[in-house]
Amino acid sequence: MSSETEKPAMPSNFIKAIIEEDMRTDKWGGRVHTRFPPEPNGYLHIGHAKSICLNFGLAREYGGQCNLRFDDTNPTKEDVEYVDSIKADVHWLGFDWEDRCFYASDYFERLFECAVRLIKLGKAYVDSLSADEIREHRGTLTRPGTESPYRNRTAEENLDLFMRMRAGEFPDGAHVLRAKIDMTHPNIVMRDPTLYRIRHAHHHRTGDQWCIYPMYDFTHCLSDSFEGVTHSLCTLEFENNRELYDWVLDTLEMYHPRQYEFARLNMTHVVLSKRKLIKLVSEGAVDGWDDPRMPTISGFRRRGYTPEAIRDFCERIGVARSGNSVVDYGLLEHCLREDLNDCAPRVMGVLRPLKLTIVNYPDDKVDEFEFPFHPEKPEMGSRKLPFTKELWIERTDFMENAPKKWFRLAPGQEVRLRYAYYVRCVDVVRDASGEVVELKCEYDPATKGGWSNDGRKVKGTLHWLSARHAVPAEFRLFDHLFREGGPADVTDPDSLAASLNPDSMEVLKGFVEPGLADTEPGWHCQFERTGYFCADARLTQPGAPVFNRTTGLRDTFAKELQKG
Ligand code: ATP
Ligand code: MG
C-alpha cells in the first residue's frame, strides 16, 4: 500500500530518464559527464541558456561534471572576445566548469593522429575534386551519390598528400580529407563526409601553426571521447550526424560517449541565431551584443534580467525529445517578474516630469515621510523622503478632459500623494504653445500620511518627488526589436531595416529620489507604478544614473498560465 507513495519521483525529462536507467544498469560506472560546447563565433543567446542549464544542471543533479568546451575549429569566424564573453555568461548564469575549460584547438595534434589512423585503416582518403564537384557527387535524398575518381588512392598516396596538406604545400580548396564510408548511403551525412579542409588562416589560439582544420563532425565526437563525456547532448538538427559520430568512434575503436538530441528553444519576437545576431551588431542596428533589446545573455543581463529568472524559465520550458514549438516571450517575463517582485526594492522615480506646486504649502517647509522598501518585507527596511512645495509628478497622471473613470489628477479632482497628503488640482499653467507645464494644487494638512479621518476617500494614489531634492536621471524604455510579425530575413540588409521596430527604445529625462544619485551599475529596483528597472552597466555615472526598464509591472502572461 505504502509502496505507491515511496516510488521515486518520475524523471522530469527524457534525458533524466536515460541517465537514471544508465545509473541502474551501471552503464558508466555511476558517472555523469556532460559538456557545453559553444563555438566562439558570437555571444551566447537565450537558446544557449537552455543548453547550459541542461548540461550543467544534469551534472549538478547527479553529482557529475560538466566541461566547458570551445568548439574552435573555424579560424576565420572566431575571436577571444567571444571566448571571454561566453565564460562570463556561463558564470553569471550560476554555473562553473571548475578546472575543465577545454578547447577543440588543444586537440589539433591528437585529431590529426586520429585522421592518420583512419587513412592507414583505409577509412579515409584525400579527394582532389573541387567543392562544387564534391557537392554534385553527393547526390540527393532520392538520388544516390557517385564516387570520386580519387576515392581509391592507396593509403601511402593518401598519407603523403595529407602530410603535404599539413605542411602547407597546397592552396585552400585544392584537397580535402574525406571519410571513406558509402556514397550510396541513405543518410547523406554518411556519403564520405569531409573531415579536414585546407584553410590558410590565422587561428586565435594556435596562430599560424596549422593550415588544415578539422570539421565539426570529426572534432566533436573525438573531443567528447578524449574528455570522457558520458552523455553528449545536442540539438535536433544533429540527429542525422549521430550516425557519423558513432562511425568515427567505432572505426577508431575509441571510448564512446552517447549522443542524444533535444529540441532547440524557439521564442516569439526574437531571433536566436548567432549568424543573424552578428548582422544586427555589424549593421549598427543595436548598441552592441549587450544592447538591452538583444536576446543575448549579456543583453538580458544589461536589461536587468536575473540569472534566477532565466534558470527558472529554462526549468519551466523543459526538455523535449522532438518538436519545434515556439515559447511565448511572456513566459520569460513572467519568470522575471516572479523573481523581481520578491527581491527588488521599491523606490520613487518620475519618468515624464510635470511640475506640481502646492499653493497653500509654506515656501520653506519640508515634511519627511517614511517609505518602506518593500510592502511585504519589513526586513528590507525603509527610508525617509522629503516633501516640499514644488513637486514632480508623472505627466501621464494628469488629464485635462478626463473620462469618468479617471481616478488620477484632473482639474478639480483630488488624489493622494503616496504616504504624504491629499491634494486637489485648482489651476493649470500653460506655455505659449498651450501645453500644460505646471499644475497648481491645494493640499489638506489634515490628511498627513496620506489618510483622511473624515471618511473622505480618493481613488488615485500618485508617486511624486520633491523637485528641490530630486536627482536627474535617464530612463530607457524598450519594446521588441522587431515589428509585429517577427523578423524577416535579417541577412538581407533591406529586409533587416524594414523589419526593425523603429520605436524599440525610448529615452526619457526624469528624476529619481535623492538616495539614488550614486546608484551602482547593475542595481535592480522597482520604480513604483512604472516598472522594474536596472541601472545601466555602461552608462550609469556617479551622480547621473541611467535606468533601463527591465519590464513593466503587469503580468499578462499569468492569465495564460491559469488557463493552462
Ligand atoms: P546558432 O545557431 O545561434 O549559431 P549554434 O548551435 O550554432 O547556435 P553553438 O555555439 O554551436 O551555437 O552552440 C552551443 C550549444 O548550444 C550547442 O550544443 C547547441 O546545440 C546549443 N544551442 C544553440 N542554440 C540553441 C537553442 N536555440 N536551444 C537550445 N540549445 C541551443
Ligand atoms: Mg554551431
| Per-residue model confidence as pLDDT tens digits over 502-556 | 999 999 999 999 999 999 999 999 999 999 999 999 999 999 999 999 999 988 7
Spell out the alpha helix ranges (H) of 284-396.
297-303, 307-317, 329-343
Q: Give CATH superfamily name and number for 274-346+473-563.
A: Ribosomal Protein L25; Chain P (2.40.240.10)
pLDDT of amino acid 8: 61
Test site for ligand 1: of 51, 268, 297, most ligand atoms within 8 A of the Cβ? 51
What's the CATH fold of domain 14-262? Rossmann fold (3.40.50)
Instruction: Report the C-alpha gap between 196 and 216 in whole angstroms.
Output: 9
Q: Is the pLDDT of residue 138 over 50?
A: yes
Highest mean pLDDT among 260-274, 311-325, 503-517: 503-517
Predicted confidence band of residue 496 (pLDDT cuts 50, 70, 90): confident
What's the CATH fold of domain 349-463? Ribosomal Protein L25; Chain P (2.40.240)
Predicted confidence band of residue 11 (pLDDT cuts 50, 70, 90): confident
**What number does the ligand 1 atom closest to the CA of 37 have?**
14
Listing DSSP states for 243-307 in one string gives HHHHHHHHHTT----EEEEEPPPEETT----HHHHHHHHHTTSSSSTT-TTSSBHHHHHHHT--H
Test site for ligand 1: of 79, 83, 89, 235, most ligand atoms within 8 A of the Cβ? 235
Do residues 426 and 345 lie in contact, with contact meaning Cβ atoms separated by under 8 Å?
A: no
User: Can you count the helices (H) and strands (E) in the chain?
Assistant: 15, 27
Do residues 418 and 428 lie in contact, with contact meaning Cβ atoms separated by under 8 Å?
A: no
Instruction: Report the C-alpha gap between 48 and 462 in whole angstroms.
Output: 42
Region 294-321: what's the mean pLDDT?
96
Instruction: Report the C-alpha gap between 561 and 539 in whole angstroms.
Output: 36
Query: Catalytic one among 69, 180, 191, 274?
Result: 274
Q: Which amino acid is at 350?
A: V
- For residue 368, the cross-strand partners are 386
Instruction: Report the C-alpha gap between 8 and 423 in whole angstroms.
Output: 62
Q: Is 75 in the pocket of ligand 1 (CB under 6 A)?
A: no
Residue 100 falls in the annotated catalytic set: no
**What number does the ligand 1 atom closest to the CA of 237 have?**
20
Q: Is the pLDDT of residue 404 over 80?
A: yes
pLDDT of amino acid 484: 74
Residue 39 falls in the annotated catalytic set: yes
Q: Is the pLDDT of residue 1 over 50?
A: no
Instruction: Report the C-alpha gap between 494 and 564 in whole angstroms.
Output: 40
Question: In which element (H, E) is residue 428 found?
Answer: strand 422-430
Region 62-71: what's the mean pLDDT?
98
Q: Whose CA is nearest to atom 15 of ligand 1?
A: 38
Q: Is 90 in the pocket of ligand 1 (CB under 6 A)?
A: no
Instruction: Report the C-alpha gap between 407 and 428 in whole angstroms.
Output: 18
Listing DSSP states for 156-195 in one string gives HHHHHHHHHHHHT-S-TTS-EEEE-S-TT-SSGGGSS-EE
Are the folds of 14-262 and 274-346+473-563 the same? no
Q: Is the pLDDT of residue 485 over 90?
A: no
- For residue 266, the cross-strand partners are 326
Which candidate, 230, 225, 224, places its Cα nearest to that of 64? Answer: 230
Name every residue whose Cβ is closer than 8 Å to that of residue 346 and which is 6 or more positions away in sequence. 371, 372, 373, 374, 375, 525, 526, 528
Q: Is the pLDDT of residue 483 over 50?
A: yes
Instruction: Report the C-alpha gap between 300 and 48 in whole angstroms.
Output: 13
The residue with greater pLDDT, 79 or 309, is 309
Q: Is 274 in the pocket of ligand 1 (CB under 6 A)?
A: yes
User: Grid coordinates representing 402?
Assistant: 478626463
pLDDT of amino acid 489: 64
Question: In which element (H, E) is residue 34 found?
Answer: strand 33-36
pLDDT of amino acid 324: 75
Q: Is 234 in the pocket of ligand 1 (CB under 6 A)?
A: yes
Q: Is 50 in the pocket of ligand 1 (CB under 6 A)?
A: yes
Torsion of CA 456, 461, 467, 468, to 10 degrees: 60
Q: Is 64 in the pocket of ligand 1 (CB under 6 A)?
A: no
> Left if phi > 0, otherwise alpha if psi is -120 to 50, otherwise beta: which for 323?
left
> In angstroms, what is the C-alpha Rg of the chain?
31
Q: Is the pLDDT of residue 146 over 70?
A: yes
Region 167-189: what's the mean pLDDT?
98
Strands (E), 62-141: 65-70, 101-103, 124-127
Maximal C-alpha separation, the chain: 103
Instruction: Report the C-alpha gap between 352 and 365 in whole angstroms.
Output: 25
Name every residue whose Cβ is closer than 8 Å to that of residue 525 and which is 6 or more positions away in sequence. 344, 345, 346, 347, 516, 532, 533, 534
Q: Is the pLDDT of residue 2 over 50?
A: no
Q: Which amino acid is at 32?
A: V
Average pLDDT score over the chain: 94
Length of the chain: 564
Instruction: Report the C-alpha gap between 310 and 336 in whole angstroms.
Output: 7
What is the phi/psi pair of residue 72, to 5°? -105, 65
Query: Catalytic one among 27, 31, 39, 308?
Result: 39
User: Grid coordinates representing 24?
Assistant: 541502474
Predicted confidence band of residue 269 (pLDDT cuts 50, 70, 90): confident
Q: Whose CA is nearest to atom 25 of ligand 1?
A: 47
Burial grade of 289 (CB within 10 A; 0-12, 13-18, 19 or more) = buried
Q: Is the pLDDT of residue 105 over 80?
A: yes
Torsion of CA 280, 283, 287, 293, to 10 degrees: -20
Gap from CA of 516 to ligand 2 centroid (Å): 43
- With vertex at residue 36, the alpha carbon angle to CA 31 and CA 312, rounded to the nearest 5 degrees, is 95
Region 434-448: what's the mean pLDDT?
97
Question: In which element (H, E) is residue 370 found?
Answer: strand 367-372
Looking at the CA of 276, name the nearest ligand: 1
Strands (E), 482-557: 505-512, 524-527, 531-535, 546-551
Residue 136 falls in the annotated catalytic set: no
Q: Is the pLDDT of residue 351 over 60?
A: yes
Per-domain residue ranges of the chain: 14-262, 274-346+473-563, 349-463
Region 212-222: what's the mean pLDDT?
98
User: Grid coordinates representing 183?
Assistant: 556514397
Q: Is 40 in the pocket of ligand 1 (CB under 6 A)?
A: no
Predicted confidence band of residue 10 (pLDDT cuts 50, 70, 90): confident
pLDDT of amino acid 517: 98
Q: Whose CA is nearest to atom 2 of ligand 1?
A: 273
Region 310-321: what's the mean pLDDT?
95
Collapsed DSSP state (helix, strand, coil) of residue 112: helix
pLDDT of amino acid 488: 64
Q: Is the pLDDT of residue 3 over 50?
A: no
Predicted confidence band of residue 343 (pLDDT cuts 50, 70, 90): very high
Instruction: Report the C-alpha gap between 531 and 511 in whole angstroms.
Output: 15
Q: Which residue matches cell numbers 514549438?
A: 325
Instruction: Report the C-alpha gap between 439 and 412 in whole angstroms.
Output: 11
**What number does the ligand 1 atom closest to the CA of 41 have?**
10
Do residues 271 and 487 lie in contact, with contact meaning Cβ atoms separated by under 8 Å?
A: yes
pLDDT of amino acid 323: 77
The residue with greater pLDDT, 273 or 358, is 358
Q: Is the pLDDT of residue 360 over 50?
A: yes
User: Grid coordinates representing 25?
Assistant: 544498469
